[in-house]
Amino acid sequence: MNENVVLTPERILEVTEDVLRRFGLAKATVVDVARALDVSHGSVYRHFPSKASLRQAVAKRWLDRVNAPLEKIAEGSGPAPARLERWLRTMFAIKHKKVCDDPEMFATYLALAQEACMVVKAHKDGLIDQLAYILSDGVKQGVFQVADVKASARAVFEATSRFHHPAHSEEWSDPQLAARIDAVLALLLRGLEAPRKR
């Protein structure tokens, strides 16, 4: 055992992901993580006081990776309608890619996310805040007419949940999916449009 190794929370989370991929959520233990790091399990517990806190941190890390490119789009510049559409399409693509590229790990994260309710709630709230930021920009640009930006952002998020909520992942291989996404986005964008001045 190498207790001289520099152990960071990030390194522990990296290795925990590998352990989860190998053993699955039901069988993976903190001892497995410690063994893979070549340290005692006490060393892992110094950074994460419980198995639950370690699992929550893994879920948060995964959700943060989903969040990063979306935040960039939300905080970018340019016409709000184009940014809103790009943000939504990017979110769908990220979720679909995770399901298609690594279905076992996606299932593991889905189970982790159900355990880490507060982490998931914070993630969703952050995404809705990003949508609200884009809608608010659109109101300033005079292209969106929105009475309550926060409520509208939540409505957009919920109206598109079929394309990003993991509960619907079985439907994402449907050949008609792209056409359905196009139709919903066209409708949403039309509904947000400010009337044209004559």
| Residue type at position 79 | P
**108 Cβ neighbours under 8 A, 6+ residues apart:** 20, 21, 24, 25
Q: Which residue has the higher pLDDT, 53 or 113?
A: 53
Instruction: Tell me the pLDDT tens digit for each residue of 43-59.
Output: 999 999 998 889 888 88
State the fold for domain 52-192. Tetracycline Repressor; domain 2 (1.10.357)
Taking the model in full, what pTM does it have? 0.84
> Residue 164 to residues 6, 34, 99: CA-CA distances in angstroms?
38, 34, 11
Q: Choose the weakest-confidence range: 46-55, 105-114, 117-126.
A: 105-114
What's the CATH superfamily of 9-49? Homeodomain-like (1.10.10.60)
Domain locations in the chain? 9-49, 52-192
DSSP label of 143: S
Burial class (CB in 10 A: 0-12, 13-18, 19+), 185: buried
Same fold, 9-49 and 52-192: no
Q: What is the pLDDT of residue 63?
A: 84
H helix runs in 102-176, sequence order:
103-115, 117-141, 149-159
Residues 21-45 have a mean pLDDT of 89
193: which strand partners?
Answer: 144
Q: Where are the alpha helices (DSSP H) in 39-115?
A: 41-47, 51-74, 80-101, 103-115
pLDDT tier at 34, thresholds 50, 70, 90: very high
Closest CA to 92 of 121, 69, 58: 69
What's the CA gap between 76 and 78, in Å, rounded?
7
Confidence of residue 30 (pLDDT cuts 50, 70, 90): very high
What is the structure's pLDDT at 85?
A: 98
Query: Within 13 Å, how many C-alpha atoms sit on residue 36's CB side?
Result: 20
